[in-house]
Amino acid sequence: MKKIISLLVVALFAASKLYCQIPDNCITSAILSAYSEKAYVTEPVTDQQLDLVLRCGVKAPSGMNRQPWKFTVIKDETTMKEAINNVVAGNVLIIVSGTDSQDGTPPDMFACGLATESMFVAAHGLGLGARIYGSPVANINSKKDLFQIPSGYTAVAVLRIGNVDKNVDAVSAATPRKSAEEIINYKK
């Protein structure tokens, strides 16, 4: 019995690897089907899911590999509500902060944005919901001690992850995009 289970696990792992190698694969599917969920249930994000999401953020690329960021994980409901008032227990907030420069220039928003997006996609790949927030950042930066933002860093974005309320119709909840023709311009 143990052997059969091991074989099944190996076969499933191999199939998932193969799935990720075909043109329409698990990563493109996660990106194309994801939207920024607003409605969540209280089923908690597991430590294993959170760890994977964070590892994807740590792995994000950055200019000259400076990795100019810190990720602050907030799980307690009271502090989460100080940032986003409609969070529910079981959500997790990841505050992405960028390194303060010596000359007063803003943190590397581009690199921090890439790390945030990597974690957004990772969360969706794991079947979780996620939404990026910019609006709580000013409040967070005015209460750095409360949110325990590391010294020398400024919050630039908040990623909320959680289990999605499946009663919400994903198609109508998603925001439409401009047409590809409007955005993409091929040099002739």
Ligand X SMILES: Cc1cc2nc3c(=O)[nH]c(=O)nc-3n(C[C@H](O)[C@H](O)[C@H](O)COP(=O)(O)O)c2cc1C
Residue 131 C-alpha from the chain's centroid: 7
For 65: left if phi > 0, alpha if psi spans -120 to 50, otherwise beta; the answer is: left
Among the residue ranges 2-10, 13-21, 41-49, 131-139, the one whose residues contact ligand X (CB under 6 A)? 131-139
CB of 174 to ligand X, least distance (A): 5
CB of 187 to ligand X, least distance (A): 27
Is residue 62 within 8 A of residue 12, CB to CB? The reply is: no
CB of 66 to ligand X, least distance (A): 20
How far is the first Cα of the chain from the last one, in angstroms, to the nearest whole number? Answer: 61
| Residues 6+ away with beta carbon under 8 Å from 70 | 96, 97, 149, 150, 153
Among the residue ranges 7-15, 22-30, 40-48, 128-136, the one whose residues contact ligand X (CB under 6 A)? 128-136
For 58: left if phi > 0, alpha if psi spans -120 to 50, otherwise beta; the answer is: alpha
Angle at the Cα of 151 from the Cα atoms of 149 and 155, rounded to 5 degrees: 40
132 binds ligand X (CB under 6 A): yes
Q: Please classify residue 81 by burial: count the beta carbons closer than 10 Å to its beta carbon, then call 0-12 exposed, 13-18 middle and 19+ buried.
A: middle
Nearer to ligand X, 127 or 134 (CB): 134
150 binds ligand X (CB under 6 A): no
Per-residue mark of binding to ligand X, 27-46 (x: CB under 6 A):
--------xx----------
Binding residues with ligand X: total (CB under 6 A)? 10
63 binds ligand X (CB under 6 A): no
175 binds ligand X (CB under 6 A): yes
CB of 137 to ligand X, least distance (A): 8
Query: Beta partners for 158?
Result: 95, 133
Nearer to ligand X, 21 or 85 (CB): 85
Q: Which helix (H) or strand (E) element contains residue 36?
A: none
133 binds ligand X (CB under 6 A): yes
Q: Which residues bind ligand X (CB under 6 A)?
A: 35-36, 131-135, 157, 174-175
